[in-house]
């Protein structure tokens, strides 16, 4: 994808959705961190169903610690890998209280030092909570980056670094959300909806039907 195509690509996505946001439901930086931690290998829909009750009962790390591991597990047992996620979340709550006064840190190193928080989760929090121009490469962004020719790579980190280099600065803040939503609803895994894609003219992918 050439620079002019990249510009048009994001210009088009911005025009269609000027203020994109995560589909995870949260009411604070801590709740965002918890929701993203719980969302690994799970859908936002399933996480939201579980966290509505959880955040009502335990809206802060202090309250979640009081809830206890068994109490936390009872709220999130419908989410995949809930036992390990509950353990990590409880450990994260303890560290937030002990090291950060119950406040979510705003730097990558401190975030990635929390149990269950990897680079992708840290990027989501840094971008969504603190407005930093990070790129959280999930399966959707990895697919869109490779399929469109926007940022090809064999690992999420390769795609992330290429996106940070290739996405024009005016679009960096929201690019993460535009790409996720595009991959989730249009550039889908099994059958991309090229016939209904507003940025098809910028894309290097050619659907099979077009090759016959």
Report the pLDDT value the prediction gives residue 26, as an integer from 0 to 100: 97
Task: Write the DSSP string, 158-177.
Answer: HHHHHHHHHS-HHHHHHHHH
The parent domain of residue 180 ranges over 3-19+134-211
CATH number of the domain encompassing residue 146:
1.10.1670.10
11 lies in the same domain as 58: no
Give me the half-sphere count of Cα atoms (radius 13 Å) on the Cβ side of residue 37: 26
Place of tokens 């992330």: 160
Alpha-carbon distance of 199 to 208, in angstroms, equals: 18
Question: What distance in Å separates the CA atoms of residue 193 and residue 203, rounded to the nearest whole number?
Answer: 12
What is the pLDDT at residue 112?
A: 97
Can you list the pairs that 63-70 forms with residues at least 24 positions away whose Cβ atoms lie under 8 Å?
64/34, 64/89, 64/90, 64/93, 65/90, 65/93, 65/94, 65/97
Domain boundary among 72, 93, 128: 128
Last residue of a domain, one of 88, 103, 128: 128
Same domain for 145 and 106, yes or no, is no
Q: What is the pLDDT, as a whole number, of residue 75? A: 97
Same domain, 121 and 156: no
**Residues 117 and 61 both lie in one domain:** yes
Phi, psi (degrees; rounded to nearest 5) at 151: -155, 95
At residue 208, the pLDDT reads 64
* 24 assigned to some structural domain: no
Spell out the per-residue pLDDT of the chain, length 212, in tens: 899 999 999 999 999 999 999 999 999 999 999 999 999 889 999 999 999 999 999 999 999 999 999 999 999 999 999 999 999 999 999 999 999 999 999 999 999 999 999 999 999 999 999 999 999 999 999 999 999 999 999 999 999 999 999 999 999 999 999 999 999 999 999 999 999 999 999 998 987 654 44
| 158 and 107 fall within a common domain | no
* Nearest alpha-carbon partner for 9 in 184, 144, 136, 188: 144
Among the candidates 113, 128, 143, a domain finishes at 128
In a domain, 119, yes or no: yes
Number of structural domains (the chain) is: 2
pLDDT of residue 209: 53
The verdict on 50 and 116 lying in the same domain is yes
Q: How distant, in Å, are the alpha carbons of 47, 104, 123 from that of 112?
A: 21, 11, 10
| Three-state SS at 178 | helix
Residue 53 has what DSSP assignment?
Answer: H
Q: Known catalytic residues?
A: 120, 138
Minimal CA–CA distance to 153: which of 135, 175, 178, 174? 135
pTM (2 d.p.): 0.91
């Amino acid at each position: 994808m050439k620079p002019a195509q990249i510009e048009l690509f994001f210009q088009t996505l911005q025009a269609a959705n000027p203020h994109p946001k995560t589909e995870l439901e949260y009411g604070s930086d801590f709740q965002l961190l918890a929701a993203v931690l719980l969302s690994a290998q799970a859908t936002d829909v399933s996480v939201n169903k579980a966290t509505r009750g959880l955040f009502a009962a335990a809206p802060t790390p202090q309250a979640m610690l009081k809830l206890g591991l068994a109490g936390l597990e009872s709220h999130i047992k419908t989410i995949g890998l809930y036992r390990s996620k509950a353990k990590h979340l409880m450990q994260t709550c303890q560290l937030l209280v002990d090291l950060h006064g119950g406040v979510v840190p705003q730097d990558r190193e401190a975030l990635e030092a929390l149990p269950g928080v990897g680079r992708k989760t840290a990027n989501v929090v840094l971008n969504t909570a603190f407005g930093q121009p990070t790129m959280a490469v999930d399966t959707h962004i990895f697919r869109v980056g490779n399929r469109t020719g926007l940022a090809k790579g064999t690992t999420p980190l390769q795609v992330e670094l290429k996106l940070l280099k290739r996405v024009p600065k005016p679009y960096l803040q929201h690019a993460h959300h535009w790409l996720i939503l595009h991959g989730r609803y249009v550039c889908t895994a099994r059958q991309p909806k090229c016939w209904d894609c507003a940025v098809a003219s910028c894309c290097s992918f050619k659907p099979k039907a077009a090759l016959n």
